């Protein structure tokens, strides 16, 4: 029953769309975004049971609708894959982001400098210079006691 109602819904959407580019004319509306968000995965995903997908593929205007939105708003390869999201099969960086490693290193360095700066400014870490003596320290506490007597 669920498949039957879903097929009926797809058929009604196909009839409503007709030969228009979008549901309400030549420009997209929120209904187009909602319908596309449901149809595109159904059309493009590999499903274990393809009955509903086959019905959608038989409705040519809905297939064209999804394809036109994919090419219009997701121009990379018909919306199938995003070139920035997937690395190449040979493990090399994509041409879109050739400085990925440099940017990662700079991000780490900026974060490290920011954390050290915060530690120094908040007093968590402080630098004390050593004076004369074999260990490089002066007994501050002894001098204070001598002054009190």
Residue 81 clears pLDDT 50, i.e. is over it: no
8 A C-beta contact, residue 28 and residue 37: no
8 A C-beta contact, residue 44 and residue 80: yes
To the nearest 10°, the Cα dihedral for 75, 77, 81, 86? -100
Return mean pLDDT, the chain. 78
Beta bridge partners of 25: 22
Where residue 121 falls among pLDDT bands split at 50, 70, 90?
Answer: confident
What is the pLDDT at residue 86? 44
CATH of 1-74, one of 1.20.1050.10, 2.40.30.10, 3.40.1010.10, 3.10.20.30: 1.20.1050.10
What is the pLDDT at residue 117? 85
What is the pLDDT at residue 83? 42
- Which tens digit of pLDDT belongs to each residue from 14-69? 999 988 999 988 888 899 999 999 999 998 888 888 888 999 999 999 999 999 99
Closest CA to 17 of 68, 52, 72: 68
Residue 146 clears pLDDT 90, i.e. is over it: no
């Amino acid at each position: 029953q669920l498949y039957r109602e879903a097929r009926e819904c797809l058929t009604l959407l196909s009839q409503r769309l007709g030969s228009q580019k979008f549901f309400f004319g030549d420009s997209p509306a929120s209904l187009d975004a909602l319908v596309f968000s449901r149809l595109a995965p159904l059309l493009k995903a590999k499903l274990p049971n393809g009955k509903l997908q086959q019905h959608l593929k038989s409705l040519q205007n809905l297939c064209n609708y999804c394809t036109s939105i994919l090419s219009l708003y997701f121009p990379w390869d018909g919306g199938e894959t995003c070139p920035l999201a997937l690395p190449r099969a040979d493990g090399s960086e994509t041409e879109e982001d050739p400085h990925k490693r440099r940017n990662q290193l700079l991000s780490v360095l900026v974060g490290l400098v920011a954390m050290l700066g915060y530690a120094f400014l908040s007093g968590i870490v402080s630098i004390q210079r050593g004076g004369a003596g074999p260990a490089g320290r002066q007994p501050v506490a002894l001098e204070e006691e001598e002054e009190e007597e």
